Structure 1
Amino acid sequence: MIDVDDVRVTAGDLTLLAAVSATVQRGEALIVRGRNGSGKSTLLRVLAGACRPSSGTVRIDGESVAERDPGFRRRVAAMIGLPPMAPDLTVSDHVLLVASTWEPDANAASEMACDVLEELGLARLGERFPHELSSGQTQLFGLALVLVRPFDVLILDEPEQRLDPEHVESVIRVLRSHRDRGATLVIATHSSVIAEALAGATVLLNAAA
């Protein structure tokens, strides 16, 4: 599903991502590890189409990365930092809006939104506004906005941020369910719990000298 071949990202004389190669099969998870500054987020941005590599190639489902291509956007969902949130929409409003963007049937979109809120333990918070959430609840809310839409490839940058161990386990269960249904996961994480629970392969990045 994903082929990364000798990808490198530089900005002038600065190396943001040293050369890296990896292959991930459909229905598998790739865990990206490394210290802060080693290029984990940069690699994820390359895979999501938000950053062009300075050298090397990336192919997803046999196609080049093309962020503006509708087919690519349908296949690839990413959370690299918290997504935008409107202050005057509730949690349920946000999730339903994203679901409705991808699913034209109103009943199906509503069911999708309800399901993901329930899975992440957010159903009771549906009528709250974003500024009324705790930091951990905000992280789960951001994940809900990504997970409610269709995807073949899911890219997540440190999904464990702000979460206590109980909620990390809940997120693992949800991600494992998507993986087992055939989604390909790429997750940058500092959590050994997530890495051990989901990894099919691991890439360890080293900070450039």
Structure 2
Amino acid sequence: MSSRRRLIPAVTALVAIAALTAGCGDPDAGDAAAAEFRAFMDQHPVDGYEAVVERAENSLPFAGSLGVTIAALDPDLLGPEDYLSAMAAVAEQVCAFAPEANAEVSFGFALGDYSTPLACPGDDDSQDRLVDAAELLVEAQRVPGVESVEYLFAGTLEAVASPGVDLRQTRVRVERLALRHTLALGDEEPSVSVMGRSPSATGSPG
């Protein structure tokens, strides 16, 4: 009889664990969210843009993150005065995505070799962040000696400098750019990296 009494609590605990695990969703949440997003975009394409899954991280069992860049197919169609309205229109569409997987989703907006964060509507400061991100995109293209500035999520910018450019000076310029737009980047201490492109197009860390 005593062994039966011990067995009942053990079975109850296993059932509870199984139920809890089942409720958590996919253990590889980042990968699952990426698959969900691709299916979402197949059903809800954004005219003139392509969606690129930049990262899908399974940081914990049943929890992860997803980073997606929405890139313009023809960047030359947009001038600086169009960035904010274009970004707002794109955000309105892609931010309707809500994964079943337990993953935090972040978006970026890209025009050619330059990209910036894309804030989703709904938060109290979402419009301010969108405005700041559009201004970041404009200013990034004006940094002397820089050929590209890419938003890598999590408050990070990565720049590629032209051959022969002083990388230290360029890094300072990109850092100043990032610090002017901490609202858009969502980080008071954004991370910056700069690589120099050689004449043969082979980059070396700077």
Structure 2 length-normalised TM = 0.31
Q: Which has the larger radius of gyration?
A: 2
Structure 1 length-normalised TM = 0.31
